[in-house]
Structures are given as structure tokens and as C-alpha cells.
Amino acid sequence: MGEARSGGAPRTAVVVGAGVVGLSTAWFLQERGVEVTVVDRDDVAAGASWGNAGWISPGLSIPLPEPAVLRYGLRSLLDRDAPLYVPVRVDVGLWSFLLRFAAHCTMRSWRRAMRGFVPINSRCLDAYDRLTEGGVAAPTVQAPITAAFERRAQAEDLRRELALIRSSGQDIGFAELTGEELRERMPQVSPRVEFGIRLDGQRYVDPGGFTRSLAQSVEKRGGTVRGAFTATDVRPAGGAVAVRSKEGETVRADAAVLAAGSWVGGLGRRLGVRTRVQAGRGYSFTVPTEQPVPGPLYLPAVRVACTPYQGRLRVAGTMEFRGPDDPLDRGRIEAIVSSARPLLDGVAWEERTDEWVGPRPVTPDGLPLIGATKAPGVYVAGGHGMWGLTLGPVTGRLLAEQITTGTRPAELAAFDPLR
């Protein structure tokens, strides 16, 4: 449980991480009267908050470890072109993480973790609406996510997943589409696609644009947002919390929030956070299309997500377990192109721009880390895996409540960072 600071709620807070999770936490802390400073090793939206698919998809926000993922992972382990890629090298920490991840790939573990996701998913869109009402200018677009399959039989895994999601108590509306119905809605879908599933009640954004707009709102409300501050140590100091940087600076505040994505683990270990956060890197790029893209398109068989983006199409995919700062592997981009090309028409694949790789913070049990650490006044908000954009605002809203009241909201019980 969170504890109130001596003398009541904190008056000041420093947030480490200028992605959507950290900035949302800062914004909602401001709502509660806290003066905030946000620091980042690079700049606003420099990590996973820039190049992701931009889906706000509470209907699909579920634990990553499950039996089907384990089976798929074992089949693709040594295939460099597979959407899931683990480099074969001696890395004790990585292989220890993967063994723990595999141990959670059971239906029992998935159902237990899913019970934690349902309450926070139900508040996800309300948190986005509050940001919009409060002055965050970047729009969120309501649109279904349409899944396309080359063969009807390929949809069985998604059908099964949707049934499990519903049985867990999460509401999600969907409808099945023939190939012809799918092409009427999505002219980019090739004639090879014969079946689709439309997932209703979802949204999408320009993720980098939204995160920058969120930062601007924080600054307009009196907050400070700055880069070139690589946090190396966070600890209580004389009734406050001191955040020290590699660059030799120190920022003090009444409370601190670690929202540094895939880098949060190194800071959190000293504060009692034992769960390893591993970078599951995703790739994306942007391509022109002959016709406008009406909404998000999902290609489950090849694990590729496509989204309208600045008049073109953003294409994202891959789960690559490597270091967060490792360079972009152009072979991963080519693998995405090769897998998606047969399923989409009217796409200028050779004119792609914005080639990008970013580290999504993955935990072995699939649950984020949100809440208080062992150190008084220090909190964690990270480990959201593929759902950082979806859950960032609601994470910030609930964590701000815990920080300022000293009481953990019930929705955060499953995400205790000290578990």
C-alpha cells in the first residue's frame, strides 16, 4: 500500500521518463495540485511512445504470456525472420527472464493476470477523455481494429482469445467479415484475404504527436519537462527524494516516479523491485498507400499492426528480445515487409520512411509494475509491454491518486511492484 508523506500529500514530484506513462502521471499529479518536473535520458517520446502502432485498444490489452505464445515462440526461436526473435547468445539475465516468462505461459497464470487487467482496462478510455477535456490537443480517433486472415482457419486463435477475454468479464464487441466485406471497408486488403474480424469500441492516435501534446499541456500548466538527464540513482534524502543523473545533476522533490520504460529495472532493483523488466523491441516504418486507410488493420498470422498515420500507413511488428540500446536490425524491417506484402495491395513498400526500433518494457508475468517501492516517496510505473500507450493515461490517473492520498486504488492491486 502507498503511504502518505509526512505532513500530507507531496507538494512536488519528479517523474523519470517523458513517455506517455510518465507524462500522464505528471499531468494527473498536477490535477491534484502537485508541482512536477519530468526528466528523460533523451527527450519527449524518444522511446517506445513514438514509433508504436498507436492503438488505444482496451479490448486487446491482455497478459502477453499464454500457452499459444509459448508454442509459437518455440517454433520460431531460431528463425531470424519470425515475428518473435531471440538472438542466440550467452546472456544469463535474458535466458533467466525467458524461463520465467515460459513458466507463466499457462491458462491458470493467464486467467489470474487477466483478472488484474479487466478493472484497469474498463477505465482506460475515460482517462483519455479526461486528458482531452483538460487541454491535451492531439485527437484520439474512434475506429474498430480489423483483423485480416488469408484463410478462415487462421482466425481460430483470435476467436479463442476473444472468448477468453469475454469469459474474464471484459466487454468486447466484434463481428466476423467475409473477404468481400473486408475489402469494402479496407481497400488495401488483397484478394488473398478471405476472412476478417472487426473489433469494435477501440481508438487510435498519432503516438508521438499525442505524447508531445501531453508534454506541452504539462508545461502550460506550470510543469517542467527536460531531456539530457540520465537518472542513475533514486533514494530518500533528508525528508525528500533525490534523483541523481549520469550528467552530475540532482533533482529533489517530495516524491519520485520511475517511468523510464525498459530502463526502469536498473533503478528499481535498489528499491525492492525484484521483477525483471526486459526490452521486447518493436519495429515500425511508414509507407504511402494508393488509397486512404480508414482505420487500424491487424494481420495476426504474421503479427503485424497497421495504422493510418499522417496521411500514410504506419506498419509495426516484431518482438525482439535484445538490449534496449542495441542498433536497428534492418533485417527485421525486411522480414515485416516480406510477411505483410502478400496481404496488402496499393502499398509502396520501397518508399518507406521513419524506420524505427524501440524497446517495449516486458515483465515475465505480463503484469505492469505500478505503485510504491520500499523507499518512502518513490513509486514505479512501468512494465506495460505492448500496452503502454493504451494504459498510460489510466496508470497515471490511478498512481497520482495513490501518491496524493496514500491509499492504493483497488485497480492497482494486481500490479504491486514489490510482488
Q: What is the pLDDT of residues 172-206, one digit of tens each?
A: 999 999 999 999 999 999 999 999 999 999 999 99
Distance (Å, rounded) from C-alpha 142 to C-alpha 287?
Answer: 22
Report in angstroms the alpha-carbon separations of 188 from 32, 212, 340, 354, 371: 46, 30, 11, 21, 43
Which residue segments constitute the domains of the chain, with CATH numbers given? Answer: 62-90+140-203+277-361 (3.30.9.10)
Considering only CA atoms, which of 34, 41, 36 is closest in space to residue 17?
Answer: 41
Distance (Å, rounded) from C-alpha 190 to C-alpha 31?
Answer: 47
Q: What is the pLDDT of residues 252-277, one digit of tens each?
A: 999 999 999 999 988 999 899 999 99
Distance (Å, rounded) from C-alpha 195 to C-alpha 157?
Answer: 13
Considering only CA atoms, which of 282, 281, 309 is closest in space to residue 297?
Answer: 309
With pLDDT > 90 as the criterion, what percentage of the chain qualifies?
Answer: 89
Q: Are 298 and 305 in contact (CB under 8 A)?
A: yes
DSSP for residue 346: S
Give pLDDT, residue 243.
98
Q: What is the pLDDT of residues 300-339, one digit of tens each?
A: 999 999 999 999 999 999 999 988 999 999 999 999 999 9
Distance (Å, rounded) from C-alpha 234 to C-alpha 106?
Answer: 36
Q: Are 23 and 209 in contact (CB under 8 A)?
A: no
Helices (DSSP H) in 1-153: which residue ranges? 20-31, 48-51, 67-76, 92-103, 107-122, 124-133
Q: What is the pLDDT of residues 275-286, one digit of tens each?
A: 999 999 999 999
Distance (Å, rounded) from C-alpha 339 to C-alpha 259?
Answer: 33
Q: Are 157 and 300 in contact (CB under 8 A)?
A: yes
Residue 2 has pLDDT above 50, yes or no: no
How much is the mean pLDDT over the chain?
A: 94
Q: Which residue's entry shows cell 490517473?
A: 397
Start-to-end CA distance of the chain, whole Å, equals 12
- 350 CB contacts (<8 Å, ≥6 apart)? none
**380-397 per-residue burial string, b: 16 or more CB within 10 A, e: under 16:** bbbbbbbbbbbbbbbbbb
- Global model pTM greater than 0.85: yes
Confidence of residue 92 (pLDDT cuts 50, 70, 90): confident
